[in-house]
């Protein structure tokens, strides 16, 4: 049934329910068949309405394992019917009781209506909670927050699904590492560190999918992962080495990422491995680009050998939308036509082809799958396997049988006050105080405030929501939020070209707040930046306002990627800088709470902010993370760049209070027993290093990995204001090891400490996970020697050595 028809049927029912205030059980549902709505596929009444007897279809026998049921369903389909269900707009097969299904859903930071109509707003669901962009949430360094947001999003999805407004499969989160500061999609991601990105993925996916907190835990009741019910299917994308969209002549459709194996394992694959292994994601999306000559969506080594076999994916693999067509039309890979590209992708392990949704468009699998089989380029059994992977996921979601505990969710569970407050709290936690000279913030008393900046930033009803947004419950702009706190707020909006000379108003107010930054026309999917500067002459008029003001002004930056605001850092008349990111629908409230001291900022930058000079030293298309000496490339991210063009380092963030560290730990030693079945691995040492130990390193893959390093840190708030503090734990490899990371994040925790109080925070580091490095041979190894545990940064830090000795068991 066409989407518009389905929407009309459901809208009529919803309006009747709204008018009556109550709805008869079963009168609404996500599955429309012959004008009636049902809550599940395997409803005897639904089959009867189609002239079928459900008892004759084993795939509706709830006593059977899901894989057996999926096998039965696929076995009933003709080849033509199978092919018509390989695209994101699956047609179903009424002959056997299978309804259509729309796979494409987006929930990056709230329920979005991006896509071909599977999710839609209207009637009793006018909008959904729009949380801060992912880069903001990452800045909170708080897994509890990430799980809360993921849980709220999945609850709203299930509520909308029950009302016929949503499907159950959502292609979020985006967990590509931000390798280059110019990448346009930085707002969608958790930043530049693969461990941070991976932990975000695990937290968000678990919250989206898990019905209960124990799901997936060791000893959980549902031992078979293919039978574990899930709330909403979450998909980690875009796999892999994808972070070039459109940079001068390079674009994502034709870009061939030249990636070394070490970088692939250490950086590009790691978040996805964590997402699948630890998050138990039910979907992985492959990317447009090629990797070392092979399209990601047609690479059997990436899809089947790695994701499905090595990492044990319990779900399906989908293409980024139109990726299979891109192989033929743009990359012109191997001169393949549609039939050949379809066969290559499916044989590599791709289960579902997302096509584009313009009028008349068709995904490649649906268009060419039949011919691929008939021409002998693809086996029908390979089509069968793909469909089984898809239908098992739908069965786990309750699409066929329902999930009773979720069926009571409805319109009152969307845009709840609790969810709106969570959106505000998420925005507050992600705010980063970048500069605060002489305690300019918080504003303790400001009867009158001048709010200056581009109208799109001051009245940021659109900008704050970022990309992949839905329709928000409401929007609180910076002007709205600040106006609720200050007695009088005057707004001075600038055009993009000029702000005009500051008038007398700048001398008559208690505080001047400038809101500046970027928007989605500058950094977005399909649009990488060419520089790191503020556009639209903002630098000049910010300096002019600062010069005219009798007191230091406050600067609020709205952006995802780093911006070269060295002019503001070095200007004493700009007293404080707050990075607000893209803070979502409640952003104005969060900004006001931080500026006026209702909330003490504790966020940390999840990206390195560089000066503009940095990008002149390395092209965006160079995929190497480490410095490339023969080309003069300086290295990327905090892990491998140690140059002078850093404006604010990864993890930078100030507070309105002060903290101190104390610990009884002064060092640790770990004896790693190397079993007879294991072999020692070599390390690359710096020139001039004395003789290496008998066993330089041991491979993580073959080791039991039971060794741990434990310590406890006391965090004291020695200032005068309650506040949260992020403990970032890094390890530093032995100094003699060459080409190792400068340091690497291995743990983090955000803690609240009242003024004058202290908390004890324990850490337990698994040696294989926390101290391992990836050698140039691409082996992940634990090196022998003295590593260092480092907590914090240059402003406040604690460290101790860890001696790791490798010896025969």
E-assigned strand segments in 152-202: 169-170
Residue with tokens 């692939």: 264
Q: Which residue, among 470, 471, 473, 510, has the nearest Cα to 490 in the 3D structure? A: 510
Angle of helix 380-396 versus helix 66-76 axis, rounded to 10: 130
CA distance 698 to 672: 9
Distance CA 59, CA 67 (A): 9
CA–CA separation, 794 vs 809, rounded Å? Answer: 40
| Beta strand pairing call for 290-291 and 246-247 | unpaired
- What phi-psi label fits residue 216: left (phi over 0), alpha (psi between -120 and 50 degrees) or beta? left
777 contacts 762 by C-beta, under 8 angstroms: no
Count of beta carbons in the 10 Å neighbourhood of residue 659: 20
Question: Could you give phi then psi for residue 419, rounded to 5 degrees?
Answer: -70, -40
Q: In angstroms, how far is the first alpha carbon of the chain from the final one? A: 66
In this structure, is the dihedral angle defined by the CA atoms of residues 135, 141, 147 and 151, taken in order, positive or negative?
A: negative
The answer to whether 432 and 605 are in contact (CB under 8 A) is yes
Q: Of 272, 371, 365, 265, which Cα lies nearest the Cα of 321?
A: 365
| Residue the block writes with tokens 């500069």 | 435
State yes or no: is 320 an active-site residue: yes
Q: According to the 3-state scheme, what is the secondary structure of 450-465?
A: EEEEEHHHHCCCCHHH
Whether residue 442 has a cis bond before it, omega within 30° of 0: yes
CB atoms within 10 A of CB 526: 11
What CA–CA distance (Å, rounded) separates 282 from 352? 13
Q: Is 3 exposed, middle or buried (0-12, 13-18, 19+ CB in 10 A)?
A: middle
The length of the chain in residues reads 809
CB 87, CB 363: distance < 8 Å: yes
The CA-based dihedral angle spanning residues 693, 697, 703, 707, taken in that order and rounded to the nearest 10 degrees? 70
Q: How do beta strands 659-662 and 744-753 pair?
A: unpaired
Contact by Cβ (8 Å): 197, 189: yes
DSSP-assigned beta bridge partners for residue 753: 723
Residue 55, CB half-sphere, CA atoms under 13 Å: how many? 0
DSSP 675-700: PTT--EE--PBPTT--PPPSS-EEES
Q: Which of 320, 322, 351, 480 is catalytic?
A: 320
> In sequence order, what are the residues at sequence separation of 6 or more whose Cβ sits closer than 8 angstroms to the Cβ of residue 56?
none
Please state the separation of Cα 502 from the chain's center in Å. Answer: 41
Enumerate the β-bridge partners of residue 105: none
Tokens, residue 369: 């799958």
Cβ neighbours for 741, distance < 8 A, ≥ 6 positions apart: 639, 640, 733, 773
Classify residue 92 as left (phi > 0), alpha (psi -120 to 50) or beta.
left
DSSP summary character for residue 611: P
Token couple for 502: 């500051």
> Which positions are catalytic?
320
């Amino acid at each position: 049934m066409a989407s518009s028809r389905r929407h009309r049927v459901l809208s009529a029912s919803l309006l009747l329910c709204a008018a009556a205030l109550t709805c008869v059980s079963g009168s609404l549902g996500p599955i429309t068949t012959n004008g009636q709505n049902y809550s599940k596929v395997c409803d005897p009444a639904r089959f009867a309405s189609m002239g079928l007897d459900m008892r004759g279809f084993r795939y509706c026998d709830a006593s059977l394992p899901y894989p057996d049921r999926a096998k039965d369903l696929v076995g009933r389909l003709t080849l033509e019917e199978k092919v018509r269900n390989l695209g994101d707009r699956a047609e179903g097969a009424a002959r056997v009781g299978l309804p259509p299904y729309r796979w494409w859903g987006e929930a990056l930071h709230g329920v979005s209506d991006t896509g071909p109509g599977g999710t839609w707003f209207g009637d009793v669901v006018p909008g959904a909670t729009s949380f801060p962009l992912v880069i903001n949430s990452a800045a909170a360094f708080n897994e509890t927050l990430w799980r809360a947001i993921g849980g709220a999003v999945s609850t709203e999805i299930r509520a909308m699904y029950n009302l016929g407004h949503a499907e159950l499969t959502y292609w979020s989160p985006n967990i590509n590492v931000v390798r280059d500061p110019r990448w346009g999609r930085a707002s969608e991601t958790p930043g530049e560190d693969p461990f941070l990105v991976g932990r975000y993925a695990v937290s968000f996916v678990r919250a989206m999918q898990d019905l209960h907190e124990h799901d997936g835990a060791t000893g959980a009741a549902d031992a078979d992962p293919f039978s574990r019910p899930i709330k909403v299917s979450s998909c980690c994308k875009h796999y892999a080495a994808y972070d070039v969209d459109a940079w001068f002549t390079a674009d994502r459709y034709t870009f061939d990422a030249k990636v070394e194996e070490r970088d692939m394992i250490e950086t590009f694959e790691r978040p996805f491995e964590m997402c699948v292994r630890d998050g138990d994601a039910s979907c992985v999306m492959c990317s447009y680009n090629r990797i070392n000559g092979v399209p990601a969506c047609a690479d059997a080594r990436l899809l089947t050998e790695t994701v499905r076999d090595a990492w044990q994916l319990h779900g399906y693999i989908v293409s980024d939308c139109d990726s299979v067509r891109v192989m033929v039309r743009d990359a012109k890979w191997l001169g393949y036509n549609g039939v050949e590209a379809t066969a290559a992708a499916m044989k590599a392990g791709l289960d579902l082809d997302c096509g584009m949704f313009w009028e008349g468009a068709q995904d490649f699998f649906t268009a060419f799958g039949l011919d691929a089989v008939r021409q002998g380029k693809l086996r029908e059994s390979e089509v069968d396997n793909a469909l089984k992977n898809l239908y098992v996921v739908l069965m786990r979601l309750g699409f066929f049988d329902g999930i009773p505990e979720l069926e009571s969710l409805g319109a009152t569970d969307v845009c709840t006050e609790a969810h709106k407050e969570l959106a505000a709290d998420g925005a507050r936690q992600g705010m980063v105080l970048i500069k605060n000279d002489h305690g300019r913030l918080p504003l303790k008393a400001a009867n009158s405030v001048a709010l200056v900046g581009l109208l799109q930033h001051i009245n940021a009803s659109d900008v704050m929501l970022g990309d992949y947004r839905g329709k928000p419950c409401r929007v609180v702009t910076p002007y709205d939020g600040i106006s609720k706190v200050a007695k009088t707020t005057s707004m001075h909006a600038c055009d993009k070209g000029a702000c005009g000379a500051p008038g007398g108003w700048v001398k008559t107010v208690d505080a001047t707040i400038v809101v500046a930054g970027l928007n989605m026309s500058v950094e977005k999917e399909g649009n990488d930046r060419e520089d790191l500067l503020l556009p639209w002459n903002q630098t000049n008029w910010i300096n002019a306002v600062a010069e005219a003001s009798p007191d230091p002004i406050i600067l609020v930056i709205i952006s995802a990627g780093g911006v070269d605001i060295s002019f503001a850092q070095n200007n004493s008349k700009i007293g404080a800088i707050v990075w607000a990111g893209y803070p979502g629908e409640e952003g104005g409230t969060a900004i006001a709470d931080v500026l006026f001291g209702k909330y003490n900022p504790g966020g940390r930058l999840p990206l390195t902010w560089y000066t503009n000079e940095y990008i002149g030293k390395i092209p965006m298309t160079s995929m190497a993370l480490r410095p490339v000496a023969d080309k003069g490339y300086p290295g990327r991210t905090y892990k491998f760049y140690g140059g002078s063009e850093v404006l604010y380092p990864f993890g930078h963030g100030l507070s309105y209070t002060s903290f101190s560290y104390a610990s009884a730990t002064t060092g640790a030693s770990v004896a790693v027993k190397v079993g007879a079945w294991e072999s020692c691995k070599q390390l690359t040492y710096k020139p001039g290093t004395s003789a290496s130990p008998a066993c330089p390193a041991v491979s993580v893959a073959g080791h039991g990995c039971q060794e741990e390093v434990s310590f406890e840190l006391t965090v004291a708030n020695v200032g005068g204001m309650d506040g949260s503090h992020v403990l970032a734990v890094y390890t530093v490899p032995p100094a003699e090891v060459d080409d190792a990371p400068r340091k690497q994040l291995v743990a983090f925790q955000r803690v609240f400490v009242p003024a004058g109080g202290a908390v004890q925070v324990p850490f337990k580091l698994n040696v294989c996970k926390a101290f391992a490095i990836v050698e140039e041979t691409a082996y992940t190894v634990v090196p022998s020697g003295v590593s260092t545990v480092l907590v914090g940064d240059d402003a406040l830090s604690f460290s101790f050595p860890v001696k790791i000795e490798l010896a025969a068991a």
